[in-house]
Structure 1
C-alpha cells in the first residue's frame, strides 16, 4: 500500500517492488492513479502470495474502508519498507 502526495492510499500487486516503485515515481508506466499525484511513502507490504491469491487479496484490501487500511498499516509501523527494498 502506498500513500500518495495527496494522502490517498493506493493498493496494487507486483512481483518486483523496486521496479514497480520506480515506474510509479517516473510516471511513464506506473498506475493511472499516480497521474497528477506522486507516490510519497510505501506503507504496507504483504509477501508470499502467488498471482491468484495476490489478486484476491488486493481486491479484498481495496474493499476496506480507509480506517481499516490504516489498521493494517499500523501493524507494520516499525517497518521501513524503503530501506528493506532500497527505494
Structure 2
C-alpha cells in the first residue's frame, strides 16, 4: 500500500456502536484514537474499541466519498458489510 492510499475502517466501540473513518495509516490512526491525541471526539469514553473492518480505497477524494456512503448506511447494512454480505461500490 503506498503512502497516498487511504483505507476505510470501521470500529466497534465498547457500547456496541460503530465508528467509521478513513486513514492512510490505520494502525497509527487507531493509536491516536486510543491516546486521545487527534482522536475523534466520538470515541472518547467509548474505549476499548475493536477494528472490525478495513479496506484500501485509493486516494483521499475517493476515500471521502466511500466514507460518506458508509456513514449513511443503516447499522444493519454496516454489519452486513463487516460480515462480507455487502460490497462497497467503487471498491475492488
Q: Does 1:58 align with 2:67?
A: yes
Question: How many angstroms does 1:28 deviate by?
Answer: 2.5
RMSD over equivalenced CA pairs, Å: 1.4
Q: Is residue 33 of structure 2 the alignment partner of residue 24 of structure 1?
A: yes
Task: Extract unaligned runs of 5+ from structure 2.
Answer: 1-9, 86-92
1:37 and 1:70 mapped to 2: Cα distance?
19
Confirm whether residue 70 of structure 1 aligns to residue 70 of structure 2. Answer: no
Q: Count residues in correspondence.
A: 76
Distance in 1 between residues matched to 2:77 and 2:60, nearest whole Å: 23
TM-score (norm 1): 0.81
| Structure 1 residues 4-43: aligned runs within 5 Å | 4-43=13-52
Tell me the residue number matched to 1:47. 56
Structure with greater strand share of residues: 2
Q: CA offset at residue 53 of structure 1?
A: 0.4
CA distance change for structure 1 residues 39 and 57 in 2, over 3 Å: closer, same or farther? farther
Greater helix fraction, Structure 1 or Structure 2: 1
| 1:43 match: secondary structure | strand
Question: Does the aligned pair in 2 maintain the 1:5–1:39 contact within 8 Å?
Answer: yes
Q: Deviations over 1:22-44 (max 9, x none)?
A: 01111222111111211421011
Structure 1: stretches of 5+ with no match in the other structure: 77-87
Q: Matched residues in 2 for 1:62 and 1:2: separation?
A: 12
